[in-house]
Amino acid sequence: MKPLYLRSSGSFKRLLLSLSPHRAKRVHAPPDVEHPSAQAEAASPPHERNPEWECFSYEEVRRATGGFRAANLVGRGGSSEVYRGELADGRAVAVKRLMGASACERRERDFLAELGTVGHATHPNVCPLLGCCVDRDLYLVFAFSARGSVSANLHDGEEGAPAMGWEARYGVAVGTARGLEYLHKGCRRRIIHRDIKASNVLLTDDFQPQISDFGLAKWLPTEWTHRAIAPIEGTFGCLAPEYYTRGIVDEKTDVFAFGVFLLELMAGRKPVDGTHRSLLGWARPLLNEGKTEALLDPRIVAGNGGYDAEQARRLAFVASLCVRASATWRPSMTEVLELLEGVEIKEERWAMPEPAAGDDEGEEMWGFDDLDDDDEDEESGTPSPLSTSSASSA
């Protein structure tokens, strides 16, 4: 049988050759192969240096995961498996193995797309890519997050265990906003994540959030206003209307999902619950009526730690802006971050015009109350791959 690189497409073959284990151990992030415009790379900010990551051999990856032992499997999706591991130097890692036939073009494209997005990101609130392996199969190696995802910390605690406190929740909201604002504005690549949700935000030992799982991410060159994507992928209950109906993707797609994420942090409810009712459908009337305390997780309201009423009002206000049906009227992540970090809230600045008679783009049409999803399989992308809780669905 031919080696993998001899059976691959031209662009993928060149990458495999450049990342051969016999070549340099540390490499620069590769150019993105999806985009046809060569000028886009030249338009990237000149001051930002390419991130570097390691090219691991198969033996290193195999040894780190104990031979891909079943006990080390921490997540599985339709196109990948994720294993906990430890490198020879003691670093804890999560190894994401892309599944499928060895010559599958979709698998190669997904591998290159993820390298072309997270491989260019360097920020405290973005989970770092440590390296990859193209020896025998396709692997991405990330830092491992032992504290798990935000979703696991909100929903998977033992009965009677203390809930995540308000201070931690607000810190997660601000930190995640910083990471997302960086992806949209600060990174040399303008990255749209497309699957922002609590199970894709991991927590460091000191509860700093890190955005993970770039399996659905796309990047937008400066001269593009949006991208049209097919098929529609993501998580029900978090999909922006313009993406769900027309496949339109830009920064405001992530802003909408971030609004749902804020509601999940506040309420301690999943985007879609076991009765198929959406968090957004439940929360929207409370947001419209300004009933902030009714939005809060009862475990916080009744707990000894309490909550900061002003911060709760800010989160509710920002969430209400982010989940607006019209992308035009949503804030940018820069504006979101300013509001969360304490800029004065001027409600008149964000007032929307009265809808015209017969206007069918009302706010209430996107409640997602009648979803037909199956328990754990409410998304068509890959799971959050980097923590002990990565198998959770939302």
CA 14 to chain centre: 29
Q: Is 270 annotated as a binding residue?
A: no
Partners of 57 in beta bridges: none
Residue of 32, 110, 135, 195 marked catalytic: 195
Q: List the one residue out of 333, 344, 335 whose CA is nearest residue 310.
A: 344
Q: How many CA atoms lie within 13 A of 160 on its CB side?
A: 0
Partners of 227 in beta bridges: 249
User: What number of other Cβ atoms are within 10 A of residue 358's Cβ?
Assistant: 5
- The residue behind tokens 């303008």 is 190
Pair 13, 33: CB distance under 8 Å:
no
Q: List the one residue out of 172, 204, 251 whose CA is nearest residue 386.
A: 204
195 in active site:
yes
Buried b (16+ CB within 10 A) or exposed e, 185-206: ebbbbbbbbbbbbbbbbbbbee
Helix (H, G, I), strand (E, B) or coil at 220: coil
Could you tell me which residues are annotated as the binding site for ATP? Answer: 96
Could you tell me which residues are annotated as the binding site? Answer: 96
For the annotated catalytic residues, the residue numbers are: 195
